[in-house]
Amino acid sequence: MKRRNAQTSIRGPVLSWPSRTWRPGERSATPEDIVALERFGGTGEHRLVHGSAEGVADALSREGFMGKVDLVYVDPPYASQTDYVHEARLDGRADGRLRRSAAYEDHWAEKDGGTGAYLDMLAPSLDALTSLLGPRGTIWVHVDWRASYLVRTVLDEIMGRDAFLNEIVWRRAPNLGRQAASSQFGRTLDTIVVYGRPDAVLVPPLRMEPIEPGAIRRDEQGRPFTVAPRGDYTDASIARLDQEGRVHRTASGKVYIKYFLVENADGVLCRERRVDALWTDVPALRHAPRSEPTGFPTQKPRALLERIIASATPPGGLVVDAFAGSGTTGEAAYVLGRTAILSDAAPAAINVARARMLRAGAALSVERLSGSPVPPRVEAAVDARRSAGRMHVSLVRPEEPAAWAVGTLERGVFRATWHSSRCPGKPTIPARTECETDAGATVARVYDDAGGVAEVPLTGKVAMRESGPGHARTLLGAGE
């Protein structure tokens, strides 16, 4: 059984595929709730939810977020027919030790429905996510040549063709190696399809374009400028620009437009140009700082998400990413002063994004969609001691965790008082294995790279105890 939003109507071309049951505006008759699991202190208020994109979006709508979101960023599977692996670097070196674990599957075999099965996942997810958009909200769907044509048609049906704003092309890699030697043009581009509500306004950033010294002039006030032909400016526009001091006339009377120059960080005079829909100036992740790559597959560079968020949201705006992966969107939103709600169906993604947000200093609520599978258990043990009113906890195993935390349980919600995670970089900085925190701490949680979680009580069947002037130690374990 389905329930239908009566206000939704078909407003564009319709894709048909054999297994299609989705209709725009329909939601599951058995909705799931979002359940709180963990709370970590910091600045801001961000959420990370383990669950499917459609289920989480539907739950957020019922929480009151329908029509409240400024930006939805979607980086879904691309129908690449690939099983992706998370590679956690334990040393940081390119030839160092790796810990590999399954990240997510992107296989859509013809025997299992092929493109139709892919659309059975994607279309309802996009439909549920667009329902969250506010009056000025936009949805940005990041795909490549395999799925961009499908996304356009699905969003036309959901939002209407008039809601289309941009098709942005990002050059994510140079045309080198096997691609350059192939019998086709190199597939080095990603496509970001942008649709928006009627009042949506994007504010493209400015790009600094260095100007050759020979093309630089100065006006009577000494201000540097360069010129360009008047192009298709009307006489009325030229008159307005002339009043602004932006018209340059040659001795022969030919009219040019002045563009005043500014210095970049290196002191080079540049012309400011608004960025268009061809993005060749955002480097691939391999060129990002060493501390940025997490090893999670298909991670996008933070600079890319910062551009998107800054262009599409106001300060303090609300951003949703329901295929959050490594958490790039969340970190970019935090850095720019926005609030992020992240979700992903992969347990490994949750563990990577949690650690990343906490390293950035964000306050985070980790949650789970009620119907989502429980993450796998991890074998873990700690050595816990209480002394002089403080709790001292040593992690005994695993020896190289992705992260771990110590805190309390309050009505089933873990509230961390201390946290440490492995920090990617060159070299990788391992998680600390010694903790000193408030004596009221009652439990430790340990996270591995595959998405597993262990919960180790610091009190309970084997109680903590103080003995005389010193202390007593208790070895506690979980997951055996």
Q: What is the pLDDT of residue 64?
A: 97
Q: What is the pLDDT of residues 350-363, one digit of tens each?
A: 999 999 999 999 99
| pTM exceeding 0.75 | yes
Please return the burial class of 254, using the count of CB atoms within 10 Å of its CB with bins 0-12, 13-18 and 19+.
Answer: exposed
Classified as helix, coil or strand, 213 is: helix
Q: What is the pLDDT of residue 99?
A: 92
The per-residue pLDDT string of the chain (480 residues; one tens digit each, 9 = 90 and over) reads 344 343 444 466 789 999 999 999 988 778 899 999 999 997 678 999 999 999 999 999 999 999 999 999 999 999 999 999 999 988 866 667 899 999 999 989 888 899 999 999 999 999 999 999 999 999 999 999 999 999 999 999 999 999 999 999 999 988 887 777 778 898 899 999 999 999 999 999 999 999 999 999 999 999 999 999 999 999 999 999 999 999 999 999 999 999 999 999 999 999 999 999 999 999 999 999 989 999 999 999 999 999 999 999 999 999 999 999 999 999 999 999 999 999 999 999 999 999 999 999 999 999 999 999 888 888 999 999 888 889 999 999 999 999 999 999 999 999 999 999 999 988 899 999 999 998 889 999 999 999 999 999 996 433 333 333 333 344 555 543
| Residues 6 or more apart in contact with residue 248 via CB below 8 angstroms | 217, 225, 227, 255, 256, 257, 258
Which phi and psi angles does 9 have, rounded to 5°? -140, 155
Residue at 263: amino acid letter: E
Q: What is the pLDDT of residue 174?
A: 83
User: Domain spans of the chain?
Assistant: 43-201+278-369, 206-274, 380-478
Residues 71 and 205: their CA atoms lie apart, in Å, by 17
Q: What is the pLDDT of residue 95?
A: 66
String of DSSP letters for 414-477: EEEEEEEE-B-SSS-BPPP-EEEEETT--EEEEE-TTS-EEEEESSSSS-----TTS--EEEEE
Mean pLDDT, the chain, rounded, equals 90
Q: What are the b/e assignments for 93-103, b being 16+ CB within 10 Å?
A: eeeeeebebeb
Closest CA to 355 of 431, 406, 286: 431
Q: What is the pLDDT of residue 31?
A: 87
Q: Which residues pair with 247 in a beta bridge?
A: 257
Q: What is the pLDDT of residues 231-253, one digit of tens each?
A: 999 999 999 999 999 999 999 99
Please, are residues 142 and 74 in contact by the beta-carbon 8 Å criterion?
yes
Residues 447 and 420: their CA atoms lie apart, in Å, by 10
Q: What is the pLDDT of residues 19-75, one digit of tens each?
A: 999 999 988 778 899 999 999 997 678 999 999 999 999 999 999 999 999 999 999
Q: What is the CATH number of domain 43-201+278-369?
A: 3.40.50.150
Please, are residues 443 and 456 in contact by the beta-carbon 8 Å criterion?
yes
Place of tokens 């010129």: 227
Q: What is the pLDDT of residues 308-344, one digit of tens each?
A: 999 999 999 999 999 999 999 999 999 999 999 999 9
